[in-house]
Amino acid sequence: MKKIFLLASFLPAFSQAQNTFRIEGRIISDSAIHGYIYMNHYLNGTHGTYQMDSALIENNSYHFEGRMTDGADRAVIHWNRRPMKLDTGMKAYRSMAVWVGAGDDAHVEHTADYHNIKITSSPVQAQLDSLSHEISLKQRPFDKVIDDFVRAHPSSWVSYIALDQEVRHHDISPESAASLYDALTPSLKQYEYVQALGDLVGLYAGRGDVSAKDLTLDDASGKPVSLASYRGKYVLLDFWASWCGPCRAENPNVLQAYNDYSARNFTVLSVSMDKVRDAWLKAVSEDKLPWTQVSDLKAFDGPAAREYKVNAIPANFLIDPSGKIIATNLRGMELSRKLAEVLK
């Protein structure tokens, strides 16, 4: 993974209390830019409640003010569908991201095509940039950099972000993940998504209650399917979506494992995080997935995502015949290797 702090995907906001953040922006241009610019961010955790705001540009400056849960959130500033003349002669980008904490007043500068970016007055962004820079120097082992940062900043949102990404991508041993999570302060652990990380670390490290929670969702024909009905088999509970590129890239690996082990008491139950039925079923057909597919088309707002605290995909849980979760987030050939181990 070794690139977690570029943060290409949305990560959670935190807590239940609402707080205001502000972003003051200035567009660097020799010509006047008018009209509107846009910002996306999430309330109540990643994919909880999606928010898109617009701001009027005056004298090449704009102002966003939003409310979010305590902690930090990733705001994406973009042109939406507005056609723009992008004239720096460099590769044109149509968006930029800035991390802001609750109560922050962040200041950003950029060209119309999001070059020459300067972000100030955002402590979360500053910490992320500093950590990313140290990782990029490659002067110390990656794992050592992360370990030292988390232990030196146990109440920092950046420590949560770093550890969350390491655990989800299996870039850290279960023992180290548990040790670093234990090092986080109680004040940080009071928040919902930090607690979800604790549950994930518990599954990864094999401690605490690892029983799979039952869920029932409809398949493509409208027939209810329960996870409990799979008791007695090894089952991969797989969360994915048609619009998720990494999920689609993982499907061939899951299909290979299914073909190799479906005759040996293994199967897959896929839960789609789609909201559009046609897109979901088209992806199933295109990727030639033969196992049962279910969805309530509520994406991350649905009960399945909430029960399993899924706030990013792909995500999966390998469940044994007794209903115990024995592995999480198996990627690439990890799934086949794990199945080879348990299905001897």
Considering only 22-26, 80-84, 178-182, which range has the smallest mean pLDDT?
80-84
- In angstroms, the first-to-last Cα distance of the chain is 30
Evaluate whether 168 touches 200 at the Cβ level (below 8 Å): yes
Say if residue 169's pLDDT is above 80: no
The CATH label, of 3.40.50, 2.40.160, 2.60.120, 2.60.40, for the domain at 4-121 is: 2.60.40
Domain 216-342, what fold? Glutaredoxin (3.40.30)
Contact 56, 138 (CB under 8 A): no
| pLDDT at position 202 | 82
- Domain chopping of the chain, boundaries: 4-121, 140-205, 216-342
Give the angle 199-205-206 at the CA atoms, nearest 5°. Answer: 85
Distance from C-alpha of 5 to C-alpha of 156, rounded to nearest angstrom: 14
The sheet that has 234-240: what strands, in order across it?
Answer: 292-294, 266-272, 234-240, 315-319, 325-328
Phi/psi of residue 236, each to 5°?
Answer: -95, 115
Instruction: Taking residues 12-29, report their average pLDDT.
Output: 72
Pairwise CA distance, residues 192 & 44, whole Å: 9
Better-predicted residue by pLDDT, 1 or 330: 330
H-assigned helices in the chain? 123-137, 142-152, 157-168, 174-183, 186-189, 192-205, 245-261, 277-286, 303-307, 334-342
Q: How many CA atoms lie within 13 A of 344 on its CB side?
A: 2
pLDDT digits 0-9 by tens, 238-258: 999 999 988 999 999 999 999
Q: pLDDT value at position 15?
A: 37
Judged against a pLDDT cut of 80, whether residue 6 lies above it is answered with: no
Pairwise CA distance, residues 7 & 162, whole Å: 10
Highest mean pLDDT among 15-19, 235-239, 340-344: 235-239
Measured CA to CA, the distance from residue 257 to residue 136 in angstroms comes to 35
Indicate the range of 16-30, 45-59, 81-95 predicted with least confidence.
81-95
DSSP sequence for 124-176: HHHHHHHHHHHHHHTSS-HHHHHHHHHHH-TT-HHHHHHHHHHHHTT-S-HHH
pTM above 0.85?
no
- Nearest CA among 174, 218, 150 for reference residue 329: 174
State mean pLDDT over 110-137.
Answer: 90
Compare 200 and 186 and report the one with higher pLDDT. 186
